[in-house]
Amino acid sequence: MCHIGFAIEGRPFVIPTAYGRSGDVLYLHGSPASRMLRNLQHGISVCVTVTLLDGLVMARSAFHHSMNYRSVVLFGQATVVEGEAEKRSALRAFTEHVVPGRWAEVRPPSDAELAGTLVLALPIAEASAKVRTGPPVDDPEDYALPVWAGVVPLAMLPRSPVSDPRLVDNVAVSSSVLRYLNGDRDRPPTERSSNP
């Protein structure tokens, strides 16, 4: 997921949301009634952040505790996706970002669903990335302290899927979800060559 930051009449907002990426474009979507999307479609400045937390850095002193992470911030102005083909492509990118291979397993959006969805495109043109890795960096005199120091690695792992209570009988967990559970976060081989 990402966090979208913007200001309306000088008041800052930060909204968590899902996104999709295709090439050098980030896509956001939602209801046309969404306050965030209604404002972003008018070209106001926006920043989008995505952060992956990799570990807790435990130092010998309270001052030097930190986190290992990978983070990117995008800056720009979003524009409305008008064409039906690009809109469908953007929704595919969103669905594939959630679980690769899922688009081929589900019903595509109907014309009514497309008409009721606002899709925005944010070109990936200006960005800043920041990464922190490795062990703690303590003051030289603290290395002799008898205090455990190091990194507690973190990972977000999927758990067993829970079926919708209204699922029809004898429907197995889909192959895209099984691949995801088994650690394969890439697109299925049949889709890799044709999709960026």
Q: Tens digits of per-residue pLDDT, 81-107?
A: 999 999 999 999 999 999 999 999 999
What is the spatial distance between Cα 123 and Cα 129, in angstroms, rounded to a whole number? 16
As given in the structure block, the two tokens for residue 170 are 């004898």
Higher pLDDT, 189 or 56: 56
As given in the structure block, the two tokens for residue 58 are 């435990």
Return the closest-CA partner of residue 185 out of 162, 159, 158, 163: 158
Tens-place pLDDT, residues 4-25: 999 998 999 999 999 999 999 9
183 with 155: CB under 8 angstroms? no
Burial 109-118 (b: 16+ CB within 10 A, else e): beeeeeeebb
Q: Where are the domains positioned within the chain?
A: 2-192
Higher pLDDT, 194 or 104: 104
Considering the domain 2-192 in this protein, what is its CATH number? 2.30.110.10
Banded pLDDT at 193 (limits 50, 70, 90): very low
pLDDT at 196: 35
Instruction: Give the helix ranges, DSSP H, for 61-174.
Output: 84-98, 111-115
Sign of CA dihedral 53, 54, 55, 61: negative
The pTM assigned to this predicted structure is 0.84
CA atoms within 13 A on the CB side of 18: 13
pLDDT at 149: 98
